[in-house]
Structure 1
Amino acid sequence: MPRRNLNYHEKLKLIQVKSKNKHVDQLMSEFKVSRATVFRILNNSEKIIKTVNGCKGKMKRIVESVDSFDQKMVQYIKQMNEFGFPVTSLMLKLKAKRLAANENKELVGSNGWLDCFKKRCNIKHGRLSGESASTNMEIVTKFKDEIIPTIILKYPPQFRYNLDETAIFYRQLPNKTYFVSKSAHFGSKISKERVSILIGCNHRGDKLIPMIIGKSKNPRALKANYSEFQNLQIIYKSNSSAWMTLKLFDHYLSEWHKELIEKDEKIALIIDNFAGHKVDENKFPNIQFYWLPPQTTSHLQPMDNGIIKAFKNKYVQHLFQRFSEYFDQNMSLNVIMKNINIFDALKWINDSWSEVSMDTIINCWNHAGYREEIVDESLIIENIENNDEDDNVAQIYSQLTEGIKDSPTLVEYMDRLTMNDLNTYSVSDYESTRSL
């Protein structure tokens, strides 16, 4: 007879059928297992019944654990479900760490621990409601093959910028929750209070000051915390829809452009074709606009390749930390929601944006296709030949490397040049060219 492993629900059913005085041969035929398996299950009947009652029914092997710890975690999930509070992976990890600390135990709270806990206690994850858009990959490929190499060739990482907006429902709970199987799990009224955020950064990981757009011009919460609000590295604006407008975007670019003129810097700005971005380009001579084709931002925009997600994850951590603190004080969900205001949101936005690491930003730029290695050396030579101001670069390179072993490639040589007056290269340090 082929080997077959029964889960604990099936083993319990076998025990229950046996209690009706069925013969072992009948059990073997019905459950398609060997005689030895039947007797082994019957001999461990008490352990199996206890396992199923302890929320381990779908497992085929018993995984020993600290029952009291798991029970506390299950009770926590039930309590949160009763309050209508969605439970997320992050919340479970944070709660487990706090429980372990209280019991003087070490717990990392890794994804592996969480997966095992969910299996042990039959924890489910359900939706309390997505969107997809088609992308023309031919357009994406063309942009990556033609436009991105040009941007990389003309602008070093510190002069390549991307701007984008995102919205945050600053005290809205998740629409998914973990729940104990067959237990009640209801939601609460969805908070629709929203702010829009314009964030930007360059390929090197330097961040621009974010602009937050709310509905109220002078929120009461900001008046009560004015001195602390003044210390935040943010710009707060308002309009009736709490969304980006052409006027607000033009104002933001104008202030930024003044700084670029003072520093004598010229940059590339990669941006989507949202109507609110369609400013008069002639007003910003130090900014070269590169407009992304429609419906391609998920592939070509660094912000959409993980930067915004990382920022929002940081924000959610601050939000959940506040919820956890209030929940531990036995505050009701409605009271907790009322205690979170626009000033809290602005402070968490400020902290969350500062917590996004430079490595994360650089990796997201690279993931969107803005990598130095995609620039072909022949493209550099062609660009130099077509630029009257740079006719001497190739000549300088050939003179410096003539007769020298292990000389740098032209691409490496160009990397050691500094940019002056937008796209004019000059040798800033003879020794920097790999000890030529």
Structure 2
Amino acid sequence: MRRKNLTIKEKNLILDEKENQPKNVLDLSFEFNVSKWTINRTLKQKKPLQEAFTNGQGKITRLQKNTDLIEFDSKVKAWIMSCASKGIPISATMIIEYTKQISNGTKGSWGWFLCFKKRINLKLGSTSCERLSINLKIVENWRNFQIPTIMINWQHEFIYNCDETALFWRQTPVKTYFISKTEHIGDKLFHERITILFCVNRNGDKLAPLVISRSAKPRCFYSNCLKDLDLKYVSQINSWMNREIFYDWVSDLHSTLVQQNKKILLLLDNFRGHNIQQQDFPLITFKFLPAGTTSLTQPLDGGIIKSFKSKYLSLFMKNIIENIDANHISDVVKKINILNALNWVDQSWKNISSETITNCWCHFKYFDSYNTNESHVNSDNDEVPELLSALNQLNLNCCSYDDLLDQNNFDFVNFFYD
């Protein structure tokens, strides 16, 4: 039989199949294309193989037999995890310097680091969100008490969330893949930025985005050039959202609600540009999210904006590839104008599916825990049944959300019938 070196991950698969799907040694040897002696050795090393796989060593083929090396790796790994729990960005140089300190200079070369990466399955990536600075008790209170109140008083189609995001509309990525020992140089970066206001509802519907740029009439604009785009374009000297622009946007939204004869709840963050005269818009109930918690409470931050930017980047890169014959990347990027960007913004936003939007709402616990027909039921959340029980004690005779609707009790169900 041809020699084959199994990885620790594959050996753990053998152990799982032997335990969960009782097979004899001969069957396993044929399935994994190894000798029966290899299967027997694997079965005898069950505990160390499982420990190695748990420690992230699934891609290597041999167990570490050097106990001193295993102990040293565990010490460095514990330090890395400690730094990660404190939000400290860790570079290869930091790991090497720490290794030199604790080993008195006997370890800590780049060659050691490359082997160490493989042994503990160390990955390089970017830090995500600002979770360490968030008060989780506030988030828990919002999810356990505020969200059930919102979901019991409002139908999905009347619950909206709006948020702004910045988009560097013609900036190329900084990181690149390159062939080893070859030069990988960069070109000029373009830092033009626009601000986009998005708004979605719990039902998965999208409103036309509001795009804020610096120029009121860019040179690339022509008569009715935005006619076929489902977005609104405004200008501001810094491409920022301010109270005047937000007030105008809310006014347009309110006018639409008047025509449709309905009332909505609008969830938004505590950005100072959102501080407007709320009494001017009686059909909109403003509900501000807890300060400093939007990365865990705002649905648009749950993946909707990320999905939009991913789709935009795909369209941007498609344009780059189609014109890659130019001498420099900057020559291609210079030809991209704000009108191109607006077309890509419109196309990217239209390509966001309703399923993506509803999943992001559910990811942050905006679902009816009392509705057993819904696929996102959270059986651990008992606040809503307790609230309904309290309502029954007030002699409202309502044991479910549908009962509340039937009684047309607008103190608890704030929406207008068409």
TM-score bracket, shorter-length normalisation: 0.5 to 0.7
Task: Say which of 400, 405, 413 aligns to 1:411.
Answer: 400
The 3-state SS of whatever aligns with 1:372 is coil
Q: Compute the displacement of 1:330 (Å).
A: 4.1
Please list the CA deviations of residues 369-412 of structure 1 after superposition, one character each: whole Å capped at 9, or x if unmatched. Answer: 101115623313434766xxxx66x2xx6xxxxxxxxxxxx436
The 3-state SS of whatever aligns with 2:366 is coil
Q: Compute the displacement of 1:126 (Å).
A: 8.2
Map of 1:349 onto structure 2: 345
Gap regions ≥5 residues in structure 1: 8-57, 61-124, 398-409, 429-436
Question: Is the 2:302–2:363 contact (alpha carbons within 8 Å) kept by the matching residues of 1?
Answer: yes
Q: Distance in 1 between matches of 2:60 and 2:254?
A: 62
Question: Is the 1:212–1:237 contact (alpha carbons within 8 Å) kept by the matching residues of 2?
Answer: yes
Map of 1:24 onto structure 2: none
Question: Is the 1:305–1:365 contact (alpha carbons within 8 Å) kept by the matching residues of 2?
Answer: yes
Q: Distance in 2 between matches of 1:384 and 1:287?
A: 28
Question: Is the 1:128–1:176 contact (alpha carbons within 8 Å) kept by the matching residues of 2?
Answer: no
May I ask how many residue pairs the two structures share in their alignment? 289
Cα RMSD over matched residues? 3.2
Note closer, same or farther for the CA distance 1:298–1:128 as it changes in structure 2 (3 Å cut).
closer
Report whether the alignment pairs 1:320 with 2:317. Answer: yes
Note closer, same or farther for the CA distance 1:320–1:210 as it changes in structure 2 (3 Å cut).
same
Report whether the alignment pairs 1:382 with 2:403. Answer: no
Q: TM-score with structure 2 length normalisation?
A: 0.63
Map of 1:10 onto structure 2: none
Q: Compute the displacement of 1:303 (Å).
A: 0.4
Task: Say which of 357, 361, 367 aligns to 2:363.
Answer: 367
Please list the CA deviations of residues 133-191 of structure 1 after superposition, one character each: whole Å capped at 9, or x if unmatched. Answer: 51000000011111111110111110000000001100101121112222222222221
The 3-state SS of whatever aligns with 1:162 is strand
Letter in 1 for 2:187: S
Q: Distance in 1 between matches of 2:317 and 2:365?
A: 34
Report whether the alignment pairs 1:253 with 2:242. Answer: no
Map of 1:236 onto structure 2: 233
Q: Distance in 2 between matches of 1:307 and 1:183?
A: 38
Q: Distance in 2 between matches of 1:268 and 1:279?
A: 16
Matches within 5 A, 1:133-212: 134-212=133-211
Note closer, same or farther for the CA distance 1:59–1:200 as it changes in structure 2 (3 Å cut).
same
Q: TM-score with structure 1 length normalisation?
A: 0.60
Task: Say which of 265, 273, 278 aligns to 1:281.
Answer: 278
Letter in 1 for 2:192: E
The 3-state SS of whatever aligns with 2:226 is helix
Note closer, same or farther for the CA distance 1:128–1:300 as it changes in structure 2 (3 Å cut).
closer
Please list the CA deviations of residues 25-70 of structure 1 after superposition, one character each: whole Å capped at 9, or x if unmatched. Answer: xxxxxxxxxxxxxxxxxxxxxxxxxxxxxxxxx998xxxxxxxxxx
Question: Is the 1:169–1:195 contact (alpha carbons within 8 Å) kept by the matching residues of 2?
Answer: yes
Structure with greater helix share of residues: 1
Map of 2:118 onto structure 1: none
Q: Compute the displacement of 1:414 (Å).
A: 4.0
The 3-state SS of whatever aligns with 1:222 is coil
Please list the CA deviations of residues 252-309 of structure 1 after superposition, one character each: whole Å capped at 9, or x if unmatched. Answer: 0011011112222111111100001111111111111111111100100000000100
How much identity, in percent, do the aligned residues show? 36
Matches within 5 A, 1:303-314: 303-314=300-311
Matches within 5 A, 1:98-113: none
Note closer, same or farther for the CA distance 1:141–1:202 as it changes in structure 2 (3 Å cut).
same
Q: Which has the larger radius of gyration?
A: 1
Question: Is the 1:126–1:178 contact (alpha carbons within 8 Å) kept by the matching residues of 2?
Answer: no
Q: Distance in 2 between matches of 1:127 and 1:180?
A: 20
Question: Is the 1:265–1:422 contact (alpha carbons within 8 Å) kept by the matching residues of 2?
Answer: no
Question: Is the 1:257–1:286 contact (alpha carbons within 8 Å) kept by the matching residues of 2?
Answer: yes
Question: Is the 1:269–1:288 contact (alpha carbons within 8 Å) kept by the matching residues of 2?
Answer: yes
Q: Compute the displacement of 1:6 (Å).
A: 12
Note closer, same or farther for the CA distance 1:415–1:208 as it changes in structure 2 (3 Å cut).
farther
Q: Distance in 1 between matches of 2:393 and 2:165?
A: 42
